[in-house]
Every structure is written in structure tokens, then in C-alpha cells.
A and B are shown apart, each in its own frame.
Chain A
Amino acid sequence: MSHWIIAPIILPALLAPFIVLAARYHIGIQRVFSVAGVLALIAIAGALAWQVSDGSVIYYRLSDWAAPFGIVVVGDRLSTMMVLLTSLLALFVLLYAIGSGWDDRGRHFHALFQFQLMGILGAFLTGDLFNLFVFFEVLLIASYGLMIHAGGNARLRAGVQYVLFNLIGSTLFLFALGSLYAETGTLNMADLAQRVTEIPAEETVGIRVAAVLLLLVFAIKAALVPLHFWLPSSYAEAPAPVAALFAIMTKVGAYAIIRVYTMIFPPDLEVTSGLHDLWLLPAALVSLAIGMVGVLAAKKMDRLVAYSIVGSMGMVMVAISLFSPEGIAAALYYIVHSTLAGAVLFLISDLVRTGRGNVDLTSQPPMMGTYLTAAMFFAGAIAMAGLPPLSGFLGKLLVLDASFDSTLVVWVWAVVLTSSLISIMGFARAGSVVFWKAHSLPTMEEPVEVASRPSMLAYAATGGLFALLTLHTVFAGQVHGYTTTMAKQLFAPDAYMSVVLETPGKLSKPKTEEEK
């Protein structure tokens, strides 16, 4: 039993109250502790990822209770990679928030940020479905605070929609968990995986309902059309660093779908046959199309980026819903890319907002720091639209390559390629209106007062995310090789289940097991 695996949850959970209690009036101390905490998280996450990279599964039993009865925290290749990705993203987002002064525009930014990290990392590491619900709520309640950070009417109104939508999602999650428990009598993922296969064929009505409800909940989190309506306005109105961190939140939904539907309801299980190819794949294709059309139709840059997030989630879900090892490997490669690219674009739209006071897609005189911002937007747009040489291109290629076994291969190719073209047009239009036409306009007499040059730290943080994207592209072979082994591990969950269920703990052999 490794104690380190629970550290990514404990560390932010302790740091956040410390920041609230000890440093609530000193933004400098808050910044130091927050950055130090995230740096420590990166170190821990890197070590954990290194430890499981040989295929082993590490786990931690809370209070040493044996698995189906107590809660377990489990780390395998997939969850440690997501933890590492989250902590790396968090570092640069935090640096941007400090550099741009966003964290000083309202109170408790750093404490909420740490709670948010605790929820996200917990959701990646837990081995228990009800615990997953609790961590979802932790990350949501922190995100409500972050979403309305710095106030403002538009932000509060978008916040109400965001909170209401997610409350309904949480209620659905509870309904799903209730029906799962009623059918199987357990909520431990590994235990569920064993018990679902033992349900006789004529009594599968309840478990089918539970599987579909659970998929709906995760689809809300992953912003899959037609459950994506909460995303565009809330991400567009949220403070930019927060929106950039939210780029990982949709991936929590994608992660949960991968985890639950490879282990508990694997593709070859008869109970849920047809769920993936009949329902998930068309929905994913539609969200890809709608997201990219939204990119073309957006009138503001932050909304454009939010729609590109919907589109890239559609892309991820296309790859996931193939439910083959190749598809999942491609999806995992694309998840890393889409998180980084989405975060970069949100930060760039905030650079534009800082430089000229608004993010409307209209021609205005040149903004402050226009050259660097324009260059970054160019690179970010290339990454998100999936043009070579950046990793978006490689990711899309992997997804297209993996789709050959699907019956809908023609549709996948058609939608992916057409939507890529539409998104290129959308980004090109935005870039030329905001950056190029600016120079053909007469300069205004008095400069806009709200505009100022973005700070160097803000540029450096955005550049840091670009560096990660570049690394993701340069080492694409190694990363894809690793995600392939990850997908193989996901499709052979026996090792995971035996580690979780068969390691003895307290109460490992109860006398009356079938009392229910």
C-alpha cells in the first residue's frame, strides 16, 4: 500500500484552508503558497506516473478497510497521467492569474483554486463511484466560486445557469448511483465490474437504466451535444485563468466515461451493447460539427474559444466511442492536446482583452502588445484547428486512423475533415479581423483607458503552455506509445480488479456476506 497516492488529494485539501485562515489578507503569501503547492503536486504526480509506468497498479485503502467495504484510491497509468496533466496545467494557469492580476480582483482565488484541484485530482484517483460523486461536487462547488470570481452582472447570470445545470447533473448522478446500488449492492468500481457480469440476462432492465443514466451524467460533464448548453456562456464569462483551468473539467467527464465503460460496462458486455456505437458516436459527431460551426458564428473571441472546446470534446468523444484500444489510445493523446490548446486559447483571448479592453470580433485600432499576442493566437489556432505541425494534426490523424474498424467510418471521416475546414475558416476570420484589419484603420486620438500592455509573466505563462504543446508534438511517438499501453491496460482490467479486491485489509473475510 502506497501512501503517496493520496497525497495529490491531501495536499490541496490542507493548503486551501491554510490559505483562507492564515493568509487571507496577504495576496503575496497566498501566491507563494499556492505556487509552491502546485510545484509540489507536479513533483508528486511525476513520481507517481513514473512508479506506475511499468504497468503496476498502486492503491491506498482509507483506514485500511478492505476494498468493497472501504473506499480505495487507485492509481494506474491513466489516472496518474491525468493527475500529471492537471498539475502541469494548474501551474501555468496559476502563473497567468498572478501575472495578469486576476487573483487580486476578488477574494479567495487561491483557496478556491486549491479546492478545485483537490476535486479534479480526487475524481481521477478514486476507485469508488460514490466517492467520484463526492469529488465531482467538491470540484463543482469550488468552480462555482471561481466562475463568479471578480463579480459582474453578466458573470453572475452565466453563473446561475452554470450552477443550475450542474445541480441537475448531480441529481441525475445520484439517481444513477441509486439504481446501480439497488441492482448490484456495491459502488466500488472493481466490485461492480465483477457483479454486473453475474446478472442473469432476463433481469438486466435496472442495470441498463443505470448505465444510460451514468452515461448521461458524464456526457453533461463532457459537454456532449445535446447536453452542452451550459458550456459556451459559462466558459466565456468566467475569468480567463479559471476558464483555462476548466479546460480540464470537461476531460473529467471524458475520463469517467473511459474508466466506467471500459471496466464496469466493457464494450463486449451484452447489457450495454449498442450504447457506444448507436448513441455515443453520432452524438459525438454532432457535437464536433456544432462546436466548429459555433467557432465560425461567434461574435466574441471568448465565445469562439468556448465553442472550440465543445468541438474538441466532440473529437475526443468520437475517439472514445470507437471503444477499441486504438481509439482509446488516440483519444488519450487528443485529450492531452485539447486540454493544453483550449487553455492556451482562453489565456490568449484574455491577452486580447487586456490589450484593447474587449474581445469583440470587430476591427479596432491596434492593441497593446499586438505582435506577440497575434503570433500566439496564430499558433494556438493552428493547434486547435488541427493543422500541421502541432499536435492537433497528429491527434486527428490518430483518430481517423483508429476509426477504420467502425461501421460509421465514412461519417467519421466526413465530419472530422469538414469540421476541421470550418474551424480553420472560423479562426482565420477571427484572427484577420482582430489582428490584421487593425492596421488599416486610422488610430484613435485618445487610447482606450481600460487597455494596458499584458505583463511579461502573463506572456511567459502562455508561452509555457505552448512549450508543453510543442513537447507533446515532438515526443508524439513516445506519448502515443504510452497511451497505447495505457489503452491495453484499460481493456484488461483484471490486474486492476485483483489488486483492489484481493489485497487483504480489515474485514477482508466477513462471516455473513449475503445478508442483503
Chain B
Amino acid sequence: MELLVASAIGVMTAGGVYLVLRLRTFPVILGISLLTYAVNVFLFASGRLTVGAPPILRDDITAYADPLPQALVLTAIVISFGMTAVVVMIGLGAFLGSDDDHVDEQPEPETTEGET
């Protein structure tokens, strides 16, 4: 199970980093989403991997799951979800305004002269 979780985090992070380095807004946003998935699983695993163990203290139980990373992941999911929505809106606004979805700064006069 450790190998599965670790390689899943690794593959998602690698894919996310690759997409983040693209030039256009959409792949970059996808890359960021992948990175946040990876980090959520990573946070989850930081409390050690346990299967079928309760997180809350009860009598006659000795193995527990760590509840704190679950709370952390919940916060991280909410925040990354909201942030992704924000960046999609701003990216959409920038794309609709300038008809160009490159993330980097392009020299503007040449393209407008060529097209019009």
C-alpha cells in the first residue's frame, strides 16, 4: 500500500509540474489541480497509513488513525477548490479581454497589427 500511495503522489506531482510549465492558462490550471490532489494525498499520508482504525478515542481499542491530517486535508481541499475557482475566473477574464490565453507576457503591438 505504501508503494501504491507513494507512486500515485509521485506521478500526480510529476504530471502537475509538467503541466504547470506549459504556456497556456488552461493546462497550467489543470497542472495546479493535479498538484493540489497530490498534496492532499500527501497530507493524508503524513499521519501514517492505517486501514480500518477509528480516529476517536474509545475503550478497548489500541490502534488509532491520526485524526489531525484528516482535518488538515479538509481545510486544504476547501482552500484549493476556492483558489482554483478564482484563478479560472481571472484567467477567463484575461482571455476574453485580450483574446489570448498565454500565461507569459507577449509583445502586444505585432500581434494586433497582423490580425486587424
Could you list which residues of chain A lie within 8 angstroms of chain B, going by C-beta atoms?
130, 134, 137, 140-141, 144, 148, 151-153, 156-157, 159-161, 163-164, 167-168, 170-171, 174-175, 177-179, 181-182, 233, 512, 515-516
Contacts and interface: CB of A to CB of B under 8 A. Distances in A.
Taking chain A's interface residues, is the majority helix, strand, or loop, or is none over half, making it mixed? helix
Given A164-B28, A175-B42, A233-B105, A181 B90 contact: no
Contacts of A137: 79, 83
B39 A153 contact: no
Contacts of A156: 90, 93-94, 97-98
A181 B69 contact: yes
A141 B35 CA distance: 19
Interface string B7-40: 0000000000000100001001100100110011
A171 B86 CA distance: 16
Contacts of B72: 130, 177, 181
B116 to A, nearest CB: 16
Interface string B57-83: 100000010101100100110011011
6 contacts: A148-B93, A160-B87, A164-B28, A167-B87, A171-B35, A181-B69
A153 B40 CA distance: 34
A125 B57 CA distance: 32
Nearest to A152: B97
Contact of B90 (A140, A159, A170): A159
A152 B75 CA distance: 33
Taking chain B's interface residues, is the majority helix, strand, or loop, or is none over half, making it mixed? helix
A134 B69 CA distance: 15
A515 B67 CA distance: 12
B104 to A, nearest CB: 8
Interface residues of B, number: 39
B43 A178 contact: yes
A141 B81 CA distance: 12
Given A161-B103, A168-B20, A233-B105, A174 B94 contact: no
A282 to B, nearest CB: 25
B87 to A, nearest CB: 5
B98 A148 contact: no
Those 8 A-B pairs whose CB atoms lie nearest each other, nearest first? A156-B94, A182-B46, A178-B46, A153-B97, A174-B39, A178-B43, A163-B87, A153-B98
Contacts of B94: 153, 156-157, 159-160
B64 A174 contact: no
Nearest to A181: B46
A471 B56 CA distance: 56
Contact of B32 (A151, A153, A164): A164
A107 to B, nearest CB: 14
Given A153-B98, A160-B90, A179 B46 contact: yes
Given A130-B72, A174-B43, A160 B36 contact: no
Contacts of B76: 174
Nearest to B100: A157
Interface string B77-116: 0011011101100110110011000011100000000000
A497 to B, nearest CB: 20
A157 B28 CA distance: 14
